[in-house]
Amino acid sequence: MLPGPNRGTHYPLVNYISYHRYTPAHLSFVAQLSKVLEPTSYSEASAHPQWQDVMRSELKALHHNGTWSLTTLPSAKTLIGCRWVYKLKHHSDGSIDRYKARLVTKGFTQLEGVDYQETFSPTAKIVSVRCLFALAAAWGWSLHQLDVNNAFLHGDLSEEIYMSPPPGLLRQGEENLVCRLHKSLYGLKQASRQWFAKFSEAIRSIGYEQSQADHSLFTKQQGKSFTALLIYVDDILITGNDPISITATKTFLHNLFHLKDLGIVKYFLGIEVSASTNGIFISQRKYALDIIEDAGLLSAAPIDTPMEQGLKLLDKGDLIKEPSRFRRLVGRLIYLTVSRPDITYAVHVLSRFMHQPRKLYMEAALRVVRYLKGAPGKGLFFSSNTDFRLRAYCDSDWAGCPLTRRSTTGYCVFLGPLLISWKSKRQKTVSLSSAEAEYRAMTGACCELTWLQYLLKDLGILHHKPALLYCDNKATLHIAANPVFHERTRHIEMDCHYIRDKI
């Protein structure tokens, strides 16, 4: 009951989400993202004219592309299934740009050696995405986003694959026909590989060089002109100091693959991007709110920490009745760590128990969600003021896992003041001393620093000064500085040699 006008001013506490710091344009953008819903099934989508139109358009495009031919199923062959996936594309102001329906095959039913051979395809590392944001913020470059229309349809298939017809394709009298695939489709195990091979060949033909640190990164240097392009499946980021080169690249790719130019990046891989003269801010606010809503905790009171201090999750307690709910929640939290390093350790611990989730683990996962409720819009800010000096901090807990007695490695890497990489991971072997656990943590951080130096070199950032690695264990620092191995350090000799070589 709310107090009357003549009563005190002791109003009840209300948990709410504040938007007061957003600009009007960005507030409109996030509001548009939050209000629209996407269908989850064909029956749901077929009830709306907009989705019916895009499904017909997609089938027409597949037909003109020669993606399949209708035929009868040979007796020795098996069918793979398919389904529709629906997605809304947005303008930079958050309004709906277009409705997108994509036909996806059920590739998990394919047989190796029969329906596919090689499947590996490079995917851009999220650290590379953050490095590109940091670079664009520091040098004031604009980040452009491109989307390839029907990207996987450009790949050619050499295998003989038959697919069940999608809903809405067959006419009367064609009920016994199936689709013999000639071009790749989304969902096929080899589709990503075929598409990336065709794209990388095309982009290299106009002077771009493929990075050896991240094969999804392509750069082009001509005199003072520099352009960088990063591809994540069919989503492309492009930036640089030469607008003419960027426009020429867009035109070339559009003529070859029919791109959709989405303009200045606002929403990339579920990451909301807000740029200003002071830098670039990224967050996953909508994604976090979706997690909170799905967990049924929108009205729950927020909590200050993602995990109870000193909590040890043991293999005890009752199993939960719906383990898929726990796995789905933890899987979504894992992707949320793209912009939320503050929940990385808690999510890492929870991810150890995916095979047999228990009630205690579910309670710990819901605590993380309640922590997100306190500030779902938290993220990372890449300032325009940086010195590009690499610094890393590493640590470990000795025998911290109560089930295996393995230690946990933790490190974070800064580019100037910008946090670009972090990790929390249980070590593969049991450490016999705290010094050994710290040494393994140093090795992990040292490997990350080495890889980042190669990546930043491809992005045009040369480091004339050595990267800095900080560790708070005196025994480890002493072993690293002195060439003498004694008995208690013999078992970590390889790690010692690696660290000393880098020093």
Q: What is the pLDDT of residues 333-344, one digit of tens each?
A: 999 999 999 999
**Taking the model in full, what pTM does it have?**
0.76
% of the chain exceeding 70 in pLDDT: 89
E strands of 184-254, at which residues?
A: 209-210, 217-222, 225-232, 235-240
Note the pLDDT tens digit of each residue in 449-496.
Answer: 999 999 999 998 888 888 999 998 888 888 777 766 554 566 666 676
pLDDT at 502: 79
Within 10 angstroms of residue 36's Cβ, the number of other Cβ atoms is 11
How far is residue 472's CA from residue 75's CA, in Å, rounded to a whole number? 67
Is residue 306 within 8 Å of 371, Cβ to Cβ?
Answer: yes
Q: Is the pLDDT of residue 300 over 90?
A: no
Ranges of each domain in the chain: 24-282, 285-374, 387-502
- pLDDT band, very low/low/confident/very high, at 9 (cuts 50, 70, 90): very low
pLDDT at 31: 61
How far is residue 418's CA from residue 282's CA, in Å, rounded to a whole number? 12
- pLDDT band, very low/low/confident/very high, at 13 (cuts 50, 70, 90): very low
Q: Is the pLDDT of residue 97 over 90?
A: no
How far is residue 235's CA from residue 269's CA, in Å, rounded to a whole number? 8
Tokens of residue 410, six digits: 């933790």
What superfamily in CATH does domain 387-502 come from? Ribonuclease H-like superfamily/Ribonuclease H (3.30.420.10)
Residues 6+ apart with CB under 8 A from 365: 326, 329, 330, 333, 350
Residues 6+ apart with CB under 8 A from 86: 38, 39, 40, 45, 51, 99, 100, 101, 102
Note the pLDDT tens digit of each residue in 242-295.
Answer: 899 999 999 999 888 888 888 898 888 889 998 888 899 999 999 999 899 888
306-321 mean pLDDT: 82
Q: Is the pLDDT of residue 7 over 50?
A: no
336 CB burial (10 A radius; 0-12, 13-18, 19+):
buried
Tokens of residue 144, six digits: 């452009």
Within 10 angstroms of residue 54's Cβ, the number of other Cβ atoms is 20
Q: Is 438 helix (H, G, I), strand (E, B) or coil?
A: helix
Give the chain's mean pLDDT: 84
116-129 mean pLDDT: 85
Note the pLDDT tens digit of each residue in 394-453.
Answer: 999 888 777 788 888 999 999 989 999 999 988 888 887 888 888 888 888 999 999 999
Residues 6+ apart with CB under 8 A from 119: 189, 190, 192, 193
156-170 mean pLDDT: 83
In order of 158, 175, 179, the CA distances from 78 in angstroms are 17, 17, 12
For every residue of 329-349, DSSP letters joined together read HHHHHHHHTTT-GGGHHHHHH
How far is residue 433's CA from residue 427's CA, in Å, rounded to a whole number? 13
For every residue of 119-179, DSSP letters joined together read -------HHHHHHHHHHHHHHTPPPEEEEETTGGGGSEEEEEEEEPPPTT---TT-TT-EE
